[in-house]
Each structure stands twice: as structure tokens, then as C-alpha cells.
Amino acid sequence: MAIQFTRNGRKAMLWAQVEAMRRGELYVEPEHLLLGLTHGEDTGALRLLDRLNLSPLQVREAISVSLKPES
């Protein structure tokens, strides 16, 4: 049985792949998935960040510290 993703879920997965490729990674790691979740508009992930008083930019900057620099 194939798992179905919502439109926002598919976008987050695509962004995770983009983030991994930008850093020359061969695999999508959890950090890339978190970065992928920070893209988009009016998503559940962004609403959660808002409730935590965090901006997508703050999350991206914090995660990027632990990842390889962009190629």
C-alpha cells in the first residue's frame, strides 16, 4: 500500500530533496525534512512554529549550523 501525501506534504518532501542537493548530500536527512517543512504558506508546520514564536528563518538558520555548507 502506497502512502499518500497531502499537497503540502509533497512540497515539503521536494524542498527537503532540494536542501540536500544544495549541500551536495546523497541522502535526505531529518534536518533536510525540517528545512523542507519551513517552506510554503499556511501549513500546519508553519502554524506550529508561529505558536512557538519561531519564524521559518530562525529555524532554517538554526538547522543550517549543523549541516554542510551549501555547494
66 or 33, greater pLDDT: 33
- Residue 18: its pLDDT value, please? 96
Q: What's the pLDDT band for 2 if we cut at 50, 70, 90?
A: confident
5 or 70, greater pLDDT: 5
The verdict on residue 54 lying in a domain is yes
The verdict on residue 1 lying in a domain is no
Domain count, the chain: 1
The verdict on residue 20 lying in a domain is yes
Structural domain of residue 14, as residue ranges?
7-66
The verdict on residue 19 lying in a domain is yes
The verdict on residue 22 lying in a domain is yes
Alpha-carbon distance of 62 to 71, in angstroms, equals: 18
Q: What backbone phi and psi angles, to 5 degrees, belong to 30?
A: -55, -35
pTM for the model stands at: 0.83
The verdict on residue 2 lying in a domain is no
| % residues pLDDT > 70 (the chain) | 97
Inform me whether the pLDDT recorded for 71 exceeds 80.
no
